[in-house]
Structure 1
Amino acid sequence: MTTLTDLYDERVAEGHILRDPAQEEALPEFERIRRELAEAPEKPKRGLFRKAKVPEPPKGLYLWGGVGRGKSMLMDLFVESLDVPVRRVHFHAFMQEMQAELHRLRGEGVDDPVKPMAKGVSDAVKVLAFDEMQITDIADAMLVGRLFEELFKAGTVVVTTSNRVPDDLYKDGLNRQLFLPFIDLIKERLVVRELASERDHRQDRLKGAKVYFTPIDREARAEIDRVWQDLTHGNEEALVLTIKGRKLELPRYHNGVARASFYDLCGQMLGPGDYLAIADALRLLVLENLPRLGRTNFNEAKRFVTLIDALYEAKVKLIVSAVDEPESLYIEGPGAFEFERTASRLREMQAADWGHGH
């Protein structure tokens, strides 16, 4: 059987990844889970007078470390190596789904919705692979403990990445003392490992690389395709965000990185709450086909300003293709003066170290 170390060595040999001792040290934890899952019997053996005993599932993994250290790339390899039903999902998106399901079941008069919610998840998959576990919302903080307790009871294996150590989850959050048992649960059911690589592979990849392309010609499109391929390795899916009961879909998404056109994000009736949710879910946005702005597309321009403000505040890295340089995008019409601040932010966001540490 191909082990994760074999897979990793293959990718290094193909030139897809750079060998990194810190990443190699984390591989045995992933391999332990893969092997135990592969060796687990399909159905537990049943005694004559006893109920079938469910074998103890392998301990999961909580892999934390700075941005760009390769946590998600290792998770990709792990998910690829599994022969059991697995779901790879951004933690933020998963919790939004769970909140929507909680709301639906409560609406149907279900007294304790958490059990059926957990059962729905554990019936569908054996492994939950989360990108970026972080808790910022009190509703999530109050739900997550009970939900994960039920998932663990059902034998679901959880593997997650995070930018922070478990003790810093929901730090300074409202009613944090109610959340602390969840941190204990994480430490009990998951092996906690730091990925302490010296290198920031993502910054290395983008360091010195252009992030603002103008004019929008064949060369710019080819370059953006190349960057997108480099960031996603050809893996992409839709990310569905639920905002106040409405669904907002980013069709092209992978591991904290999304690609959309100006009209996808500014041509529809989205508001500040939508852009905040997008900024919260991403660490990098590839935004294509930014047109000239002015009187004729005033509403779209206003939305664009709101989008850039949300991305700027959340320190999301931005790669853009635009019809012109930032200062020349909006030169006449109402809002031209206010746009100067947006142009200046677009300039600042082009710096090589912009977005570092998000």
Structure 2
Amino acid sequence: MSALLARYDALVAAGELQPDADQRVAAERLQRVQDDLVAARDPGAFARLFGKGPRRVRGVYLWGGVGRGKSMLMDLFVATLEIERKRRVHFHAFMLEVDRLIREERRKETGDPLAPVAARIAEHVRCLAFDEMVVKNTADAAIMGRLFTALICQQNVTVVTTSNRPPGDLYKDGINRSLFLPFIDLVKKELDVVELDGPTDYRLDRIAGLHTWHTPLGDAATAQVREAFFRLTDYPPEDAAHVPSADLDLGGGRTLHVPKSLKGVGVFSFKRLCGEPRGAADYLAIAQCYHTVIVVGIPVMGPENRDEAARFVTLVDTLYENNVKLFATAAAEPEKLYPAGDGSFEFARTVSRLKEMQSDAYMARGHGLEA
């Protein structure tokens, strides 16, 4: 049996995964991608003599509701893919990188920058694995058809991606959506669309019994959000000292250090998020990159903290509007965080949202989807 399926079946046999027929079908399709990529990695001496690269391998668009195992299958796919030129990246981070490459190519004044951008990406990548394809940016939507046509059809890059939405629902009500339709057509033509939408939300199962808002500040609250992080990421708690970090691209040459970042879960301090000058665009970058955000050290705020309170309001609004799960350690319950000061009356709306974000109904929403 091939590596991905062998690993998947071993996890089921060990009781680490529940038997799931839809997951097994998706794993089989991803295994075929692996087999085709390995078989195509060397075109042979004769083909190389005439400058022919590896043949095109059909990719996969894996979509379904939150917690159905898409990220787990992507983990297995990338970990067991036996080629060197593979890359896994969150879709939002990838498009920020593309924006930077486009600016560099435009400075060269050589015409349409998308073809050379695709060529530069393909120099180092044979298979692109994306987490959570979601499109909300009009500029991204306008270029994606041409960009991915160049990557897939000209550079023979294989694309494997997960999404909460079927292809036809991407950028569904976006401005100038007609510019995006060629990308949807490309996905349907060049990728196998596989639905993974079984009845069980495994992510909710992992955090069953855990509250999301923990007060007062202290070791007990920290232990609760720590447990949520390890449950959501399947990272071994005994190796806590080696949890990966990340530097999130905020655009314009700015980055935000994320001290713990894994599988769509990011951990931040209140001081870093709201104690420093930040705007809605920064919070949107976080909300698009992470399906779950853990904020530690939220204090009680007064009139002297009005700037921090205003940023916190913007943060909560952005997370809420993008259906991001929020776990927090705080000095008080939401209604007691900002009892007096400029905007304290309006803060009541934030309190209401923080309460709703603790509900089972909110926790069951898919990341990035409209309620």
TM-score (norm 1): 0.91
Structure-1 residue corresponding to 2:224: 223
Tell me which amino acid in the other structure corresponds to 1:178.
L
CA–CA distance in structure 2, aligned partners of residues 276 and 102 of structure 1: 22
Which residue is 1:295 aligned to? Answer: 303
- Paired position in structure 2 for 1:78: 77
- Letter aligned with residue 102 of structure 2: L
Q: Distance in 2 between matches of 1:160 and 1:47?
A: 30
1:52-201 correspondence runs (5 A): 52-84=51-83, 85-152=85-152, 153-201=154-202
Looking at structure 2, the residues matched to 98 and 287 of structure 1 have their Cα atoms a distance apart, in angstroms, of: 29
Structure 2 residue 286 is the aligned partner of structure 1 residue 278:
yes
Letter in 2 for 1:51: F
Q: Is the 8 A contact 1:238 1:250 kept in 2?
A: yes
Alignment partner, residue 349 of structure 1: 357
1:182-230: CA deviation from partner (whole Å, max 9, x where unpaired):
2221122111111121111112223442111112222222222221111
User: Quick check: 1:260 aligned with 2:260?
Assistant: no
Preserved contact between residue 44 and residue 53 of structure 1 (Cα < 8 Å): no
Aligned mates of 1:73, 1:47 — CA distance in 2 = 37
| 1:158 to partner: Cα distance | 0.4
Q: Does the C-alpha gap of structure 1 residues 14 and 270 become closer, same or farther in structure 2, counting only changes over 3 Å?
A: farther
Please state whether the residue corresponding to 1:353 is helix, strand or coil: helix
With over 3 angstroms needed to count, the CA separation of the structure-2 counterparts of 1:145 and 1:219, relative to structure 1, is same
Contact in 1 for aligned 2:68/2:202 (Cα 8 Å)? yes
Alpha-carbon separation, structure 1, partners of 2:117 and 2:276: 32
Instruction: Structure 1: state its 5+ residue gaps.
Output: none
**How much does 1:245 deviate?**
5.5
- In structure 2, give the amino acid aligned to 1:170: Y
Shift, 1:249, TM fit: 4.4
Q: Which moved more, 1:339-348 or 1:35-44?
A: 35-44
Amino acid at match of 2:338: Y
Give the Å deviation of 1:154: 1.4
Match of 1:209 in 2: 210
Aligned equivalents of 1:61, 1:231: Cα separation in 2: 24
Q: What do residues 32-71 of structure 1 show as CA deviations (whole Å, max 9, x unaligned)? A: 01112223343532269x6143342321001111111111
C-alpha displacement of 1:123: 0.9
Distance (Å, rounded) in 2 between the aligned partners of 1:53 and 1:307: 50
Q: Percent identity?
A: 45
The residue type paired with residue 217 of structure 2 is I
* C-alpha spacing 1:272/1:179, structure 2 compared with 1 (3 Å): closer
Q: Which amino acid aligns with 2:266?
A: A
- Tell me how far apart the structure 1 counterparts of residues 168 and 224 of structure 2 sit (CA, whole Å): 41
8 Å CA contact 2:43–2:52 kept in 1: the answer is no
Q: Does 1:307 align with 2:315?
A: yes
Which deviates more from structure 2 when the two are superposed, residues 295-304 or residues 328-337? 328-337
Gaps of 5+ in 2: 236-242, 367-371
Do the aligned partners of 2:43 and 2:55 also contact (CA within 8 Å) in 1?
Answer: no
Query: Which one-letter code corresponds to 2:360 in the other structure?
Result: A
The DSSP-based 3-state class of the residue aligned with 2:159 is strand
1:336 maps onto 2:344 in alignment: yes
SS in 1 for 2:345: helix
Q: Which residue of 1 aligns with 2:5?
A: 5
Which residue does 1:17 correspond to in 2? Answer: 17
1:154/1:44 CA distance change after superposition, 3 Å: farther
Q: Structure 1 stretch 67-76 or stretch 206-215: which is displaced more?
A: 206-215
1:271-317 Cα shifts (integer Å, max 9, x gaps): 12222332233322111111121134332122111111221222221
Native 8 Å contact 1:46 1:52 kept in 2: no
Name which of structure 1's ranges 35-44 and 144-153 shifts more when overlaid on structure 2.
35-44
Partners of 1:61 and 1:158 within 8 A in 2: yes
Structure 2 Cα separation of the partners of residues 220 and 14 of structure 1: 32
SS in 2 for 1:61: strand
> What amino acid is the match of 1:238?
A
Rounded Cα–Cα distance in structure 2 between residues aligned with 1:125 and 1:289 = 40
Contact 1:290/1:322 (<8 A) preserved: yes
Q: Deviations over 1:228-279 (max 9, x none)?
A: 1111223745252334564444443333322111112112110122223322
1:241 is matched with which residue: 244, 249, 253?
249
